Structure 1
Amino acid sequence: MTEETFDQPVLTERHGSVLVVTINRPAQRNALSNEVLDGLVVALDDAEFDAEVRAVVLTGGPKLFASGADIRDLRANTPAAYMASRRSQAFARIMQFPKPSVAAIAGYTLGGGCEIALSCDLVIAADNAILGQPEINLGILPGAGGTQRWARVAGRYKAAELVLQAQNIDAWTARRLGMVAEVVPAEFVVEAGIAAAERIAKYSPVAARSAKAALRRSEETGISDALDYERAQLGILLSTEDHYEGIDAFLEKRRAVFTGK
């Protein structure tokens, strides 16, 4: 890392068709300041409109992911100000990012950091990862999906332990609960996240985006509406060049070359 990167709260680095986005406030335990959230939004905006980027990895490196909100930023908020704030809008943007995303988490993954991980499509955890929702210690609750996504991942009763009792869990427990896809040694967590993203990126990007959207729809609506949405997405994909390429490659026993069209 060069000297000037210490002043950049969010770093980006390309690995082929994968963009790695790194939270870079180690002295503040990667607390999610307004500047960090702004940096994440800018990186995701760039990734969304860059056709060469097919998947994104969000990480904080092998030592920690994010310790939660920057408390000084929270202290100044009123209810109305928070609802209209760029913090609220930033979390919404992260949750709505349309391309496949992988969280490569290590160390403290707490509060808003945990909610960012929950917003991703896959989570790769280091063996030193500690996850939790400590907001109740501050007289508040998780406000970026923590109550809802933990309940869907682990069930309401386990979610209550995290949210109402501020219990932390380790990476292995998070894997047993179904949130974490893989646990790896901390020094390899970023590489493992990139590898997971590369496995996604080799497939049709238009199909991956549609599949992600269909998976997310299962969280937002009933089964009948979700199935209708799934069928509609399939209908769209059946007319794409990538679909024909996938079929032709299978029949010709070769690797498909997907272009996202």
Structure 2
Amino acid sequence: MDILTSKANGILTIEFNRPEKKNAITSAMYQSMADALKDAEGDSAVRAIVIQGKPEVFTAGNDLEDFLKHSSAEVGDRPVAQFMRALSGATKPVIAGVAGNAVGIGTTMLMHCDLVYAADNARFTMPFTQLGLCPEFASSMLFPAMVGYPRAAEKLLLGEAFGAEEAYDMGLISKVVPVAELADLVHLQAAKLVALPASSLRVTKRLMKGAQAEAINARMMEENKHFGEMLMAKEAKEAFTAFFEKRRPDFTKFS
């Protein structure tokens, strides 16, 4: 199974389990995660949710071959959109444990989690412009709000990777720990949440998000429109062709 899910002691754990492909995410994997989150909303036994990868890698982002197979579908209808809407709208606390690379949506999804803990080997990348695309799933709104415009602009415009300490300094993540301590910390924090009143956590989370929920949904729709159009454009075709041909893309021919 490329996605492992388990429920124990009030915690739903969703784990990327495709290490041979660096946990690159397929449509089927997104659907599994979306279904697990939707199920958790109606399951009173689930009081906290954990999303994690492997000690070597969180996720390499979208599996590009699978992604391009479904490129003709409306972005908002894809399993990835179902997953992100379920994550963004989750009323229960969500904790992410990140080790190794978190590429593209691997970083975007963290902005919709409540607590994010990273191992000291974690690296974050949002290479949308390098692929001829634009930010996704409200990251163009949430990331500047979290880290400030100048830092957000550097990461989103250049698309370059940054490490765990910088991510912590910017405010993207809650804490950095050694790789060997990450899993224990994540589940310790999840257990603390399970022991607290579910109603208090639910209301506190809703109050913190406030009216932002509507703005997030609106920004997702706006980004999806641009993302879908850019996915069909020449720049993205050049970027993906270059990726599969293992060469640098040449964007200078496009204005």
Q: TM-score range by the shorter chain?
A: 0.7 to 0.9
Pair member with larger Rg: 1
SS in 2 for 1:65: strand
Q: Which has the higher contact order (CA 8 A, sep 6+)?
A: 2
For residues 117-170 of structure 1, give each alpha carbon's deviation from its aligned partner in whole angstroms, at most 9, with x where no partner exists: 111001000110001201111100121222222111101111111111012111
Structure 2 residue aligned with 1:94:
87
Residue 162 (1) aligns with residue 155 (2): yes
For residues 204 and 221 of structure 1, the distance between their equivalents in structure 2, rounded to whole angstroms, comes to 26
Q: CA deviation at 1:80?
A: 6.0
Whether the 8 Å CA contact 2:104–2:127 is kept in 1: the answer is yes
Q: Is 1:183 aligned to residue 182 of structure 2? A: no
Structure 1: distance between partners of 2:149 and 2:5: 36
Tell me, yes or no, if the aligned pair for 2:19 and 2:54 is still in contact at 8 Å: no
Residue 196 (structure 1) aligns with: 189
Q: Which residue of 1 aligns with 2:96?
A: 103
The CA deviation at 1:210 is 1.1
Partner of 2:138: 145
Q: CA deviation at 1:78?
A: 4.9
Counterpart of 2:54 in structure 1 is: 61
How many corresponding residue pairs? 215
Residue 31 of structure 1 is matched in structure 2 by 24
Q: Provide the residue aligned with 2:164 in structure 1.
A: 171
Whole-angstrom CA distance in 2 between matches of 1:147 and 1:118: 11
Unmatched segments (≥5 aa) in structure 2: 216-255
State the Cα distance separating 1:197 from its structure 2 match. 1.3
CA deviation string 1:208-243 (max 9, x = no partner): 011111111263479xxxxxxxxxxxxxxxxxxxxx
Q: Distance in 2 between matches of 1:190 and 1:215?
A: 26
**Per-residue CA shift, 1:58-87, capped at 9, x if unaligned?**
001222111111112332455762233232
Runs of 4+ more than 6 Å apart: none
CA distance in 2, matches of 1:157, 1:80: 34
CA distance in structure 2 between the aligned counterparts of 1:125 and 1:116, rounded to whole angstroms: 14
**What letter corresponds to residue 92 of structure 1 in structure 2?**
R
User: Which residue of 23, 26, 41 corresponds with 1:48?
Assistant: 41
Residue 187 of structure 2 aligns with an amino acid whose one-letter code is I
Instruction: Tell me which residue corresponds to 2:233.
Output: none
Pair 221,44 (structure 1): closer, same or farther in 2 beyond 3 Å = closer
- 1:5-46 CA-to-partner distances (Å, cap 9, x unmatched) read xxx121123341122110111111111210111111122122
SS in 2 for 1:203: coil
Contact 1:19 1:55 in 2 (8 A): yes
User: Matched residues in 2 for 1:114 and 1:26: separation?
Assistant: 18
Secondary structure of the corresponding residue to residue 12 of structure 1: strand
Alpha carbons 2:34, 2:82 under 8 Å: kept: no
Distance (whole Å) between structure 1 residues aligned to residue 80 and residue 50 of structure 2: 21
Contact 2:34 2:79 (8 Å CA) reproduced? no
* Aligned residue in 2 for 1:256: none
Distance 1:110 1:196 in 2: 24
Residue in 1 aligned with 2:220? none
> Relative to 1, partners in 2 of residues 1:57 and 1:108: Cα closer, same or farther, differing over 3 Å?
same
Cα distance in 2 for partners of 1:51, 1:83 equals: 29
Structure 2 SS opposite 1:125: strand
Mark the runs of 5 or more structure 1 residues left unpaired by the alignment: 1-7, 223-261
Give the letter for the 1:41 counterpart.
Answer: A
SS in structure 1 of the partner of residue 87 of structure 2: helix
